[in-house]
Structure 1
Amino acid sequence: MGKTNRHGRYFHRALTLVDFLILNGVFFVVTVLNPAVPEIHTRLIWVLLNAAYIPVARYVGRIHKVRAMLMERITFSALQAVCLHALAFIFLLYFLKLDAIPWKIFAEFYSATALMLILWWVGSHYLLKSYRRGGRSYSCIVIVGCNSTAERLYAEMQSDPGFGYRCQGFFDIYCPPGFEHRDKYVGDLSELEEFVKENHTDEIFYALSGEHREAVQLILGVCEKQMIKFHYVPQISPYLTRKFRLDSVGQMPVLEVRTNPLEHTANRVLKRSFDIAFSGTFLLFSPIIFIPLAIAIKLSSPGPVFFKQTRTGYMGRDFLCWKFRTMRVNAQADTLQATKNDPRKTKLGDFMRRTSLDELPQFINVFKGDMSIVGPRPHMLKHTEDYRRLISQYMVRHLIKPGITGWAQVRGYRGQTEELWQMERRVEHDIWYIEHWSFLLDLKIIVRTVMNAFGGEEQAF
């Protein structure tokens, strides 16, 4: 079997070709068939449309080669590609003074293109992963190193066949007795070049220390002579499992351990603007829901309609969190967490908790700026004091505003935390959300929250 006979590069080119066909197909439907576009300019506009695709093609090709992407990242990348094409296309049109096309046509064309590309990219991404899981379109790889970093890399590759990696073996100066995959150890570094030639290796992952100058130069030389892709795997502690950002001090590369997209002003403005628009719209129509619920709460048991509790918010500051009252008035409201068969709950309150209706007044907190629609759930002060001592990263979740719903909640970590590991998982998900925030991720969480509310949740009590 010859090298490059596993169809990988042809698959990526096919995906890019379909992008090109989608662009032209939408152009034909939206533009050519529209009488508002002067017929004399149609062919020239078509040429410019495809010329504007040239700067986009390289970006699109890189995206299609990424082996694992979240759906929100795929969607965002598709929107970036559409915006890049729009800038290039509009520049060419105005440069040649072809400004007779109505803006309505642009809006229709790029809206349809964005929708079609998003659907295609998401579908093709999962199609490609399924294709690879079937043993096709894979890359033959070799890992240089018999250490914990190499073991972790191999475990990640094996965790999902959709990544499309087939490990041919490990190479190192020697294989230590405790190495987990001794059965896949092939030999020392001097045997590597002959092996990769005979076995048509596509990629080499170098997992040894970068301080081994002779080893690095040897492996780089093999890759250059055999035209094999080289990857350097940094020696990172297994305790640092977060997303990293590459930075530099002069010529020295530095990895930043924790990233927070909401540190950027544009992202904060976008999130806050959405919070105001969403919560404001909801509160405008809230009497339709609030008035019947208020009457039902008053009839179900004596006490106020709303339950207001001091909770820990942004940067550890306290705020007054609003909820509909779901329990009978009791002295343990601020210290004892609700349980599944809690006798303090009313029948109406139990229903409201299962459907998350009790959380709706928190849109008031969102509009005021104490909370966001999406973010880590705010905890009562007692929980903050207890868990900050037990979980080292607990307070990290307060680097952004708390939310009505969050990543941990839609992933099943909500409700009562009887054991410490449950809160640890919740904190891990909250930190993951902070480090991977995007506007599309927020929309995804909101949709999943609504679906869960209608379907009911086992942990909602």
Structure 2
Amino acid sequence: MISVFTSSMIRFHINTFIIISEMNAILHLDIKNAVLVGSSPITLDKIYQPSFSHVKIIGYYDEHHNTKNNGYPYLGNLNTLFDDINTKNIDIVYINLESIITINNIIDQLKNTTCSIILISNTNQVNTIHLNTKDYFLSDPKLETINDIFLIKLFDTPFYGFNRFIKRLEDIVLSIMILILISPILLAVAFAIKLTSQGPVLFKQTRNGLNGKPITVFKFRSMKVMENGQEVKQATKNDPRVTKVGAFIRRTSLDELPQFFNVLSGSMSIVGPRPHAVSHNEQYRALIPGYMLRHKVKPGITGLAQIRGWRGETDTLDKMEKRVECDLMYIKHWSLWLDIKIIFLTIFKGFINKSAY
């Protein structure tokens, strides 16, 4: 009895430590690198307030070098911005320009990156920008006012501040509970794989995570030959590489259960867009406008696309477009209730996947 109580107390303290650590990380270390397009020291001073403490402005881009831009370094012209967007790990782009044509050109150049795009403008530009970029919006433009400056958020993530904490808390609590509940299943699947085929029980794949950064995703091995590289050939019907046990765990999604450890470590969420192979990202980002916006949130074990039937092999562009459409819809309409609904529906209709080979 004492040992059970002691064990429970240890688990309680471990869980409490994890939650407190995550909260501290969210509140203090969630720093986003931001740049300004256009030179206006007054604007920079006005928007860089304590409410924007998660934002670090690293410099500005403009066609002309303004040495009086309040001490922020000049980083180059617009062409330099497009080259720097990935190498400098830029998270947010503030645009302070009057030319609608130039603004739309910037948006078009950045639509397949993971940058949040925020206009510093007057309200008269909202409808014009929306009409010219409606196919690429992550959500309808959100208008915010700070010190009489209008911020029009075009592409953004719902997970800032408290929302991010709630999402992470949801992931920690549920993943711990689920891992405890499914531990017998994990052991049974691991034993079956080891008993019926040679090779390790788990295998790792590189996927693009939050903001497109690479992460390592765990799965139960379902094939005779593992694919650990970036070039991945999707499994097809009657694929000879898939073992008998592998076919079953793929069809029932049991092969994805180790990803709850990814959730616990913070590289994935329980609910979110499914992580695609790196090679698929490079292929589809050139074909589907706004494809990379799905990386503005962590990849998930299940998601809106999965409960709507867009799972398994994506052998046509139309299938991938439908999946991405669901992913962006999820980001646009995210709420804690939506996550609960998706998890609930996954239990009843998301595990069995007839199109998984």
* Cα RMSD (Å): 2.7
* Count of residue pairs the alignment pairs up: 229
CA contact (8 A) 2:219 2:256 kept: yes
Aligned twin of 1:322 = 218
Distance apart, 1:285 and its partner CA: 3.9
- Partner Cα separation in structure 1 for residue 177 and residue 298 of structure 2: 20
Pairing 1:30-41 to 2, within 5 Å after superposition = none
Equivalent residue for 2:168? 272
Aligned residue in 1 for 2:131: 237
Q: CA 1:460 to 1:452, structure 2 compared with 1: closer, same or farther past 3 Å?
A: farther
* Aligned partner letter, 2:219: K
Identity level (%): 48
Q: Secondary structure at the match of 1:309?
A: strand
Shift of 1:330: 4.6
C-alpha displacement of 1:239? 5.5
Is the Cα contact below 8 Å between 2:205 and 2:228 reproduced in 1? no
Write out aligned runs for 1:50-449 (5 A).
Answer: 237=131, 240=134, 242=137, 243-247=139-143, 256-262=153-159, 264-330=160-226, 334-449=231-346
| TM-score normalised by length of structure 2 | 0.58
Residues 40-90 of structure 1: CA distance to partner in whole angstroms, max 9, x if unpaired?
xxxxxxxxxxxxxxxxxxxxxxxxxxxxxxxxxxxxxxxxxxxxxxxxxxx
Aligned partner of 1:451 in structure 2 is: 348
Alignment gaps of 5+ in structure 2: 1-123
Distance across 2 between alignment mates of 1:312 and 1:374: 16
For the 8 Å contact 1:244–1:255, the answer to whether it is kept is: no
Counterpart CA distance in 2 for 1:286 and 1:313 is 25
Deviation digits for residues 171-219 of structure 1 (CA, Å, limit 9, x no counterpart)? xxxxxxxxxxxxxxxxxxxxxxxxxxxxxxxxxxxxxxxx9xxxxxxxx
1:410/1:445 contact within 8 Å kept: yes
Which string of whole-angstrom CA distances, capped at 9 and with x for unpartnered residues, describes residues 263-301 of structure 1? x31111011011011111222344311111111111221
CA distances 1:131-178 after superposition (whole Å, capped 9, x unpaired): xxxxxxxxxxxxxxxxxxxxxxxxxxxxxxxxxxxxxxxxxxxxxxxx
1:360-419 Cα distance to aligned partner (Å, 9 max, x none): 000000000010000111112211222222223111111111000111111111111111
Cα separation, 2, equivalents of 1:330 and 1:251: 57
Aligned-partner Cα distance in 2 for 1:408–1:260: 18
Q: How far apart are residue 426 of structure 1 and its match?
A: 1.2
Largest Rg, 1 or 2: 1
Q: Give 1:35's aligned residue.
A: none
SS of the equivalent of 1:240 reads helix
Q: Alpha carbons of 1:344 and 1:273: their partners in 2 closer, same or farther (altered >3 Å)?
A: same
Whether the aligned pair in 1 keeps the contact of 2:236 and 2:313 (CA below 8 Å) is yes
Aligned counterparts of 2:261 and 2:174: Cα–Cα separation in 1: 11
**Cα shift at 1:331:** 5.8
SS of 1:389's equivalent in the other structure is coil
Aligned partners of 1:246 and 1:253 also within 8 Å? no
- How far the C-alpha of 1:256 sits from its partner, in A, is 3.9
Residues 218-275 of structure 1 deviation map (CA, whole Å, 9 limit, x = unaligned): xxxxxxxxxxxxxxxx67528516532442668898864345321x311110110110
Q: When you count strand as a share of all residues, which structure comes out higher?
A: 2
Relative contact order, CA 8 A, sep 6+: which one is greater? 2
Question: Kindly tell me: are residues 316 and 248 of structure 1, through their superposed partners in 2, closer, same or farther at Cα, counting changes over 3 Å?
Answer: closer
Cα displacement (A) at 1:449: 1.0
Quickly say closer, same or farther: Cα 1:254–1:428, change in 2 above 3 A: same
Alpha-carbon distance change, 331 to 268 in structure 1, aligned in 2, over 3 angstroms: closer
> Aligned partners of 1:285 and 1:332: how far apart in 2?
29
Q: 1: distance between equivalents of 2:228 and 2:173?
A: 36
In structure 2, give the amino acid aligned to 1:308: K
Q: 2:202 touches 2:220 (CA, 8 Å); kept in 1?
A: yes
Match of 1:110 in 2: none
Give 1:240's aligned amino acid. Answer: K
Query: How many angstroms apart in 1 are the aligned matches of 2:205 and 2:337?
Result: 31
SS in structure 1 at match of 2:245: helix
CA distance in 2, matches of 1:329, 1:405: 26
Equivalent residue for 2:82? none
More helix by share: 1
Q: 1:453 to 1:419 in 2, by over 3 A?
A: closer
1:408 is paired with a residue of what secondary structure? helix
1: distance between equivalents of 2:209 and 2:148?
40
Q: Measure, in 2, the Cα distance between the counterparts of 1:448 and 1:341.
A: 29
- What is the CA–CA distance in structure 2 between the aligned matches of 1:349 and 1:247, rounded to whole Å? 49
Aligned in 2, Cα 1:281/1:312: closer, same or farther, shift over 3 Å? same
Unaligned stretches of 5+ residues in structure 1: 1-210, 212-233
